[in-house]
Amino acid sequence: MNTLKTFFFLMVLTSLLLFVGYLLGGMGGIIVALIFSLGMNFFAYWFSDKLALAMTHARQVSEQEDPELYRLVAEQASMAGLPMPKVYVIETDSPNAFATGRNPQHATVAVTSGIRRLLTRQELGAVLAHEMAHVGNRDTLIMTVVAAIAGAISMIAMMAQWAAIFGGNHNDNRGSNNIVGLLIIAIIMPLAATLVRLAISRAREYQADQTGARTSGQPYALASALEKLEAGAHARPMKVAEGVSHLFIVNPLSGRSLVNLFSTHPPIAERARRLRNMQPNF
């Protein structure tokens, strides 16, 4: 169901991009919008993981430096049938974790120092299983494409906004209609693209919960971990750019979701409920 939702929302987002291009320039505008989106996707595909690690001040650790963490990541990667990812640590009391990388062969898992003090070994293992699920489900690639398309829509909308401002002196009906169309593109389309992007992000979190619980066999431990992480992130929010907040297992900015439509993460209570409805052994 989450996969179907993701596919549906991706189609909606792509349709929005093509529609914006068509409104601005007909078939030529569609082609320009596609080229613009492909260029942004290419950049994001190769560099988004490096940017995320740099923005969170993550530091890579070797097996010799941190054998326990390395062993735990290796266990979950093996159970998921995935290559061993690079392991990073973020020095902060805020408890959290994320995964990134363009594919399973170039994946990275990062955990904060705070999460290791808060969770039991079983709970941390379940969290790492969730992150390996993101890797196996290629969620980083999916969300990179989604963010690039949404970003393309926003940038085209910004151009439409300037066109509306400097083209606002037309007096005929056609000019008035053009201004109205440009304003719709400038205001409505970025909002619609954002809502779709956030809906896809929430669907991928549910999917990673389910996949991680199945590979680790620990849905109850993951549910308990999520509840602890929400409380911990609320007590000690993480100073991180909003643009990478969707990568983390719980919202690092406050630990509390905003209105559901505008949240990158599903409600923790609902995630925990779904996990506890799963059988602990598979």
Work out the end-to-end distance of the chain between its first and last CA atoms, rounded to an integer number of angstroms: 20
Is 242 known to be catalytic? no
Longest dimension (CA), the chain: 73
Which of 65, 75, 123, 131 is catalytic? The answer is 131
| CA–CA distance, 91 with 88 (Å, rounded to integer) | 10
**Helix ranges, the chain (H):** 2-55, 67-80, 113-118, 121-136, 139-166, 173-216, 219-235, 268-276
Between strands 86-90 and 97-100, the pairing is unpaired
* Dihedral over alpha carbons 251, 257, 258, 259 (to 10 degrees): 140
CA angle (131, 133, 134) in 5-degree steps? 65
What's at 224, amino acid-wise? S
| CA–CA distance, 201 with 133 (Å, rounded to integer) | 14
Taking CA atoms, 112 is separated from 87, 91, 127, 211, in Å, by: 11, 6, 12, 22
Q: Which of 90, 87, 93, 95 is nearest to 69 (CA)?
A: 87
Contact 128, 76 (CB under 8 A): yes
Torsion 103-2-15-248 (CA) sign: negative
Residues counted in the chain: 282
Give the tokens for residue 101: 């990388």
**Residue numbers annotated as active site:** 131
